[in-house]
Amino acid sequence: MKKLHLICNAHLDPVWLWRWEEGLGEALSTFRIAAEFCENYDGFIFNHNEALLYEWIEEYDPSLFKRIQGLVKTGKWHIMGGWYVQPDCNMPSGESITRQILYGKRYFMEKFRIEPKTAINFDSFGHSRGLVQIMAKSGYDSYIFCRPDISLKDLPGEDFIWEGFDGTEVIAHRAFRFYLSQKGKSVDKIRDFMEKKPEQTPAMILWGIGNHGGGPSKEDLEAIQQLREERKDYEILHSTPEDYFNELRESGLEPGRFNESINPFAVGCYTSQIRIKQKHRELENELYSAEKMMSAASAAGLMKYDAVAVKEALKDLLFCEFHDILPGSSIQLAEEDALRTMDHGLEIISRLKAKSFFMLMKGQKKAPDRTLPIFVYNPHPWTVNGNFECEYMNEFNNTKEKFSVPHIVYGDVEIACQDEREFSGLSAFDWRKRVVFKGRLKPSSMNRFDLTLEELDEKPGMMSYENKEFIDIKTDEMRVKISRETGLIDTMKIGETKYFDKNAFRPVVIKDNADAWGMKVDRFENEEGSFRIMTSAEARKFANITAEEFEPVHVTEDGAVRTIVESYFKYDNSALCISYIIPKKGAELEVKARVYWGETDKMLKLEVPAAFRRTGYLGNIVSGIEKLRTDGGEAVSQKWVAAFDEESEKAFGIINNCIYGSSCKDNAVRLTLLRSPAYSGHPLGDKPILIEDRYTPRIDQGERRYSFKIIFGDKKSIMKTVDRKGIEFNEKPMVLTAYPSGEGKKPKKLLEISGKKISLQTFKKAEDGNGYILRLFNGYQKKSKATVTSKVLAFSMDIEMGPVEIATYRIADGKVIKTDLLEREI
């Protein structure tokens, strides 16, 4: 007899797609109805996940929560999945996915004494291969998903072994006809399965009313019972995902294997509502950096680790990773709610970071007269080299008719620095100041730089770049030529090696439509035009400059540390300022873009043509590194992408703090900055996406900002260093001017990791309060070794990690114990 497992579930998108209050109301009513069916229908089992909803039920209807606890004990109500929410599964970092599981599972184990073994993300828009390692190391053995469906992605079968980067694996199942069924139509879905897959056993079908709501109905349960009596060749049972996978394993069937990400689907979601994505990345960066700083201060006995505050901010982050918030498919009200929620988390974290920073300043000597100390805390357990920026008040000059030039000393050595335009509009006074300096930061330490000022009669002039065709910047390591005619990079060389072809960072406008998801496409290639350089008159108007001599391509800053060139562009209703930042020492280029967007149903990409013969393309994904498409299809990645010449092995890495979508074709990388479809514009068959009877607002109108760092070398050197570089660019060291009291003792270094390949993913207080959790990641595709040392916690250990491996340790009572991702000893 064939066996068919029916999984009744409810999916509550209004929590995220529309308004959370609306979703709460629907969750309450859905759970009440489901509880009644569980109590009154023998054999029926209701399945649900997402700890956040249960937290809400616990708060807003305690009696219903107790009923559900009772039903879980009897097996009538099953907790499946066990994550905090069903997140997007491509854009959150590996650490954020880990926290989704950690907080979800801990909640269910505490409140219901149950630990799910099957993870589920029914509605997420694609699934990164990096999930496998995280799930396997969090106690999962199986996974259910729906998207992309069979028409978009070939897989070995409905059931298959999904292999992780590190050799871990889970059994994965792509659900037949998604997770839902319309009211009274569940039996139609079951019959369709029986007709199309008559030999499949064991089998599993998901059902539940509607897309935005769900659960059982009397009509469906009675129809299922009638079908059970009719089809004697099937044992049809209300079941759970764990029961299905247990039977599948016992059946002796050998599913096929798959070792890629399960993408693409809804590729517009890699970019839609870029403000949410940027705010999410900012909160991720600030939160995980703050945890490291708090750990350093608390381990040194300088302050208490405020785990309650951290958890509150983390929940803001996890909530906004839901698969209709972070992907940008929600309505405008939900977008505003999400931004407000993440700002709440950022405010909490900013206070925690500030407290940690000042505690870590303990033991610093008082400043000498007329000396301003600049402190830089490096949260990373390796040396960080870079250019650092700091604003300060010139207490010694104020409104004098003089100009103060900075000098910075590190220890006893004067280092390169330069004065740059401050962020405020106080340029009439030499009062508010901004300095940029080249520094070398010790690992996990507070670094001090002492600033003094020299008074001059006037501000020093900048170097003159008189070439009428190019701004040609040469240093010992690199040469960058920027065309005055196009405003784009014409030549980019490191030594004698050319890396870019002409017109690098060309702003390309792509024809798009009102579909917020991008459901019916897998690429954005239909070029409509590109931004052109402004005329001098347009540039004066754009920058609000009254002087006649103002060019659209010109040098804005030039000193001992770096040169900055700005180019101003125009396209129809939009404008764009690109800043090229070229260091005087080193071979890393920074590019910043400030977009003023006024287009509808269009997309903006920055094109970087590689001076390669045959380009390969790699990207940083969830706890992994993956080969990305080179056919022009839209790809998703996180902190960095890398292009390399498959013939010469020369390469460059593009690190970002703000985007997820890109494409590569014909030796050109295109970085996707934004798109402007309608809010929740949803295609349905051949019907128009929008009813065209009024003004419909579009996504991402107005100002948006982006930052990139480009590193150059051969493929091997890039891949050894790019992961750490990506972390440094995102979790920036905290820089602040302050006068220390001279009291206390300098704290010992929290952590140091040798080598270049193994990075610190997290350092935080353990969830049970017993010691600290250290999580490492080998961001290299080969085995790597390192020595991990902590002076303040008095331990040192030599480690060897496999390719792209995550390793977690608990440090407590003078011992270092390896754990799983739920912080349990293994």
> CA-CA distance, 650 to 498, in Å (whole number)?
9
State whether the Cα torsion 817-818-819-825 is positive or negative: negative
pLDDT at residue number 400: 62
Q: What are phi and psi of 726, to 5 degrees?
A: -65, -40
Which segments of the chain have a pLDDT < 70?
13-19, 210-213, 396-400, 427-428
CA 158 – CA 164 distance, rounded (Å): 18
Look at residues 178, 227, 246 and name the one whose alpha carbon lies nearest to residue 207. 178
CA atoms within 13 A on the CB side of 753: 25
The tokens describing 549, both together, are 């001599």
Instruction: For residue 124, give both structure tokens.
Output: 């997420």
What is the pLDDT, as a whole number, of residue 212? 60
- What Rg do the C-alpha atoms of the chain give, in angstroms? 28
- H or E segment to which residue 348 belongs: helix 332-360
Q: Residues near 633 by Cβ (< 8 Å), separated by ≥ 6?
A: 264, 267, 522, 523, 663
Sorted by sequence, the CB contacts under 8 Å of residue 122 that are 6+ apart come out as 9, 11, 86, 144, 145, 146, 175, 178, 179, 206
The per-type count for the chain, helices as H runs and strands as E runs, is 14, 46
Q: Tell me the C-alpha distance between 64 and 693, whole Å.
A: 44
Helix axes 51-60, 20-40, angle to 10 degrees: 90
Residue 107 pLDDT: 98
186 burial type by CB count under 10 A (0-12 exposed, 13-18 middle, 19+ buried): buried
Interacting residues of 373 by C-beta distance below 8 A, sequence separation 6+: 364, 367, 448, 449, 450, 451, 737, 738, 739, 740
CA–CA gap between residue 520 and residue 267 (Å, rounded)? 9
Q: Could you give the CA distance from residue 109 to residue 113 in angstroms, rounded to a whole number?
A: 4
As a whole number of angstroms, the distance between CA 714 and CA 710 comes to 13
- Return the residue matching tokens 């870029």: 274
Of 144, 178, 180, 138, nearest in space to 160 by CA: 144
Q: Is 686 exposed, middle or buried (0-12, 13-18, 19+ CB in 10 A)?
A: exposed
What residue has token string 């514009």? 681
